[in-house]
Structure 1
Amino acid sequence: MKIKSKILGLAALLMAGMVQAQEFKFPSDPALEAKARELNAAYTDYMNSEQFVEATKPLHWLLVNVPELNPSIYQNGTKIYDEASKITTDEAQKRVYQDSVMTLFIKRGQLYDDETKWIENKAYYAYGYYKDVEEMLPNVVADFERAIELNGELSLAALYPAYFDAIRRNDGYNDAYTPEQVLEKYGEIQKLLAKAEADGKDVATAKSQMENLLVAMDLIDCDFIENTMGPKLAADPTNEALADQIFNYSVQYKCYSTNAFLQALEIKHAKEPSFSTSQVIAMRYMQEDNTAGAEEMWTQALKLAENDMQKADAQMELAKIYVKQGKKSAGRAAAKEVANLDPSRTSDIYSLIGGMYMNSF
């Protein structure tokens, strides 16, 4: 996988720097020192010749008998045990090797203050090994969250869908979260992806995978937006993040008729007024027979219009509202303005004005 190659490449660079920076701590006992030197050379030779299963034996002796020899035995050991797990056909032995990778990270954390350098790798390996293991999924999620806590982000955008998939699986296997908690975590990841995108990283694939995973969880529908998210926004109308969430989910799931969508749209419009938000709010007000509110929104839309076509739309809707309110002179004036802005709508204007006269009789 591309993710793995990048991580291992990063690990190799870190390993080279660490080995050069830290001296080997061989035992003071001459016989033990000779044994440690012999097995350190042996496991390294096996690793360089890609004999990974053979390398585990001398490496294991070093880890047990001289655990503080050098950080390299943990850095190299991660690769050795991982590669050995791919070679063996014995499923039980495969799990032993995979568990050994995790143990190396834990032991390294106990000996060296460098968790920020490897915690993301630990999360990556844990996801690969344990994503189908019910009791291990909480730990997988915790590793990803620890990486974000320590480093502020995940260095590879492709790891975010893996993190969210671990959340999805943990919820499926262990009923670990409420729907609101899942959406909160999803929102936090979206913010991190937005930051990565602002930093110049390609996050398009990661975003698409995230959306697919959320849809697969089948958490959201119009009832959920209206009855679960809506009351929270009603209780805290200053919560712009929640309003954005409701607006985005309403658009994604085509839930335009909910009160929650209308309130979220009103909040969005108050913050960033536009012709389109004014237009949609006005249309919703008309559905509710709120002509005063619709008039106010179409008046705003007229001021926010970016071209004559939009201005004509606003004037036409205002003309209809004025007619409905019995404001005939205002209706005629708005209708005539439509003709000036968009002559192609002349027939509609005549129909509107003609209807006004018919109704007056």
Structure 2
Amino acid sequence: MRLKVILSTVVAFMMLQNVQAQNGWNWPEDEKLRKEAETKNVLYSDHLRNDNYKAAKAPLVWLLKNTPDLNASIYINGAKIYEALEAEASSEEEKFVLQDSALLMYDLRIKYFNDKSNVMNRKAYTAYKFYKDRQDKYPELYSIQKENFDLNKEETHLNNFIGYMDAIRRYKATGGEITDEEVIQVYDEVNEALKAKGGHEKIQEGVDKIFAATVDIDCDLIENKLGPRFLEDTSNIDLATNIIKLSFVGKCLDSEVFLQAAEVVHRNAPEYALAKLIAVKALQADDYDKAEEYFKEAISLTEDNTKKADIYVSMAEMSAKRGRKSDARSYAMDAVEADPSKREAYNLIGTLYFNSFDACKGGQSRVQDRAVFLAAYDMYRKAGNSQGMANAKAQFPSKEEVFTENMQVGQSISVGCWIGTTVSLQTRD
């Protein structure tokens, strides 16, 4: 068994020498030191290959001390060895020492072999894993994450976006010197980098949640901190998008800044939900022209008939509020055509008819004047509104009025005015 181990080590040593000669290893010029370095390199590599991290540590430490610029691999493998030992450590004190040693491998690798952007990405990930639950290390964790992001921007590894934002959250929550304005600035930069990287919805959701837990999001933040920045450059789509997201979190949908941001984002990327939201907010502000514009825009952006019907009902209600009864009826009928289950549209028309008595009565015939209630009854019936039907029927002409005007129950009579329909004559008694 011992002979096999020796032979294995010798073979590995010979193979390693051949590879190293081709890959530019920086062996010491002193022959004795070189032989020792070659032996240590084979020993730690062999132990590492067999997952014997404890045995690999001593020859590795010798190489780090005596030949620090030998090859980047001693730092790459060194980080692996210290991380593996950290996972096996039994005491917290030992774990902390090994964590610091593992991170030192990244620093030394940068010192002797540069490749800083790549190495910092790896260091940031490892630092977050080790330090996220060590409050004494939060300033250092924040510093590492910030340095990595400032260096790499959109080249930052995906997991490090979450790590960076969470490092800020932990640092700020424990008294770190970072203001809300600085957090917002970082959040903007992170969003911009994520967008350049191609989106990544789950990472974005994580970043948004951490940001919301870091800064007190309220209407003051949106209107007085983000708002002025946005108004300076209303073409800033990323900032406008952030304002929309944060407005939902802070329940600030009545803010003028929110509405302006929504319009900017919609112009850049038209979307049904956003168009509808802008229309609803405009309607609440009695800006009917804008509401109508965006309601129509919303309809054009969906193939879902139920959604179209919802919009038509809203447009019908708006037109009724504006006194545009014919338009209101037209939109209500569009709603039913799009989705026959929208029976409330009939109810809206019934109410329009019912309330048109004073405007439409001619004063020449009580029966003719009350025909609007017959038309209202028909609409309430289609809507399934029994109370509306009862109210309308109570306003039908009486038998006596029908008899006096020489008419008959069941005959067709025209309803004039804006209603312009025909009904079957009925009486209330």
TM-score, L = length of structure 1? 0.76
Matched, 1:140 2:144: yes
Residue 355 of structure 2: SS of its match in structure 1?
Answer: helix
Task: Find the counterpart in structure 1 of residue 227 from structure 2.
Answer: 230
Residue 322 of structure 2: SS of its match in structure 1?
Answer: helix
Of structures 1 and 2, the one with the larger relative CO (CA 8 A, separation 6+) is 1
Gapped regions of structure 2 (runs ≥ 5): 1-18, 337-342, 362-429
Equivalence map 1:27-46=2 (5 Å)? 27-46=28-47
Equivalence map 1:243-262=2 (5 Å)? 243-262=240-259
Matched, 1:126 2:130: no
CA RMSD of aligned residues (A): 3.2
Displacement of 1:90: 4.3
For 1:297, give the aligned amino acid.
Answer: A
Displacement of 1:204: 5.0
Residue 158 of structure 1: SS of its match in structure 2?
Answer: helix
Equivalent pair of 2:317/2:328 in contact (CA under 8 Å): no
Gapped regions of structure 1 (runs ≥ 5): 1-17, 324-330
Deviation digits for residues 178-220 of structure 1 (CA, Å, limit 9, x no counterpart): 323323433443444455556xxxx454344334323333521
In the aligned structure 2, how far is the partner of 1:65 from the partner of 1:183? 46
Equivalent pair of 1:222/1:250 in contact (CA under 8 Å): yes
Displacement of 1:298: 0.9
Task: Find the counterpart in structure 2 of residue 153 from structure 1.
Answer: 155
Deviation digits for residues 239-285 of structure 1 (CA, Å, limit 9, x no counterpart): 33222211122234443222222222233344455665454444434
Equivalence map 1:1-361=2 (5 Å)? 22-131=23-132, 132=134, 133-146=137-150, 148-149=152-153, 152-155=154-157, 157-194=158-195, 196=197, 203=200, 205-272=202-269, 276-288=273-285, 290=286, 293-302=287-296, 305-306=299-300, 309=309, 312-313=312-313, 315-323=315-323, 331-338=324-331, 340-342=333-335, 344=343, 345-358=345-358
Displacement of 1:168: 1.5
For 1:144, give the aligned amino acid.
Answer: N
In the aligned structure 1, how far is the partner of 2:149 from the partner of 2:103? 16
For 1:350, give the aligned amino acid.
Answer: G
Residue 232 of structure 1: SS of its match in structure 2?
Answer: helix
For 1:39, give the aligned amino acid.
Answer: K
In the aligned structure 1, how far is the partner of 2:264 from the partner of 2:148? 34
In the aligned structure 2, how far is the partner of 1:208 from the partner of 1:244? 13
Equivalent pair of 1:171/1:177 in contact (CA under 8 Å): yes
Displacement of 1:334: 0.9
Equivalent pair of 2:309/2:334 in contact (CA under 8 Å): yes
Equivalent pair of 2:26/2:69 in contact (CA under 8 Å): yes
For 2:355, give the aligned amino acid.
Answer: G
In the aligned structure 1, how far is the partner of 2:220 from the partner of 2:20? 58
For 1:154, give the aligned amino acid.
Answer: T
Q: Alpha carbons of 1:356 and 1:35: their partners in 2 closer, same or farther (altered >3 Å)?
A: same
Matched length: 327
Displacement of 1:73: 1.5
Q: Which moved more, 1:42-51 or 1:186-195?
A: 186-195
Deviation digits for residues 101-131 of structure 1 (CA, Å, limit 9, x no counterpart): 2222222222224334422211111222223
Q: Alpha carbons of 1:333 and 1:102: their partners in 2 closer, same or farther (altered >3 Å)?
A: same
Q: Alpha carbons of 1:337 and 1:28: their partners in 2 closer, same or farther (altered >3 Å)?
A: closer
Larger Rg belongs to: 2
In the aligned structure 1, how far is the partner of 2:294 from the partner of 2:193? 35
In the aligned structure 1, how far is the partner of 2:130 from the partner of 2:359? 75
In the aligned structure 2, how far is the partner of 1:114 from the partner of 1:274? 43
In the aligned structure 1, how far is the partner of 2:271 from the partner of 2:203? 30
In the aligned structure 2, how far is the partner of 1:241 from the partner of 1:195? 11
Q: Which moved more, 1:350-359 or 1:56-65?
A: 350-359
Residue 28 of structure 1: SS of its match in structure 2?
Answer: coil
Q: Which moved more, 1:273-282 or 1:221-230?
A: 273-282
Name the one with the larger helix percent: 1
Equivalent pair of 1:282/1:298 in contact (CA under 8 Å): yes
Equivalent pair of 1:318/1:334 in contact (CA under 8 Å): no
Q: Alpha carbons of 1:272 and 1:135: their partners in 2 closer, same or farther (altered >3 Å)?
A: closer
In the aligned structure 1, how far is the partner of 2:67 from the partner of 2:357? 100
Equivalent pair of 1:19/1:72 in contact (CA under 8 Å): no
Deviation digits for residues 159-187 of structure 1 (CA, Å, limit 9, x no counterpart): 32222211212222343433233234334
Equivalent pair of 2:142/2:164 in contact (CA under 8 Å): no
Equivalent pair of 1:230/1:259 in contact (CA under 8 Å): no
Displacement of 1:148: 2.2
Equivalent pair of 1:298/1:317 in contact (CA under 8 Å): no
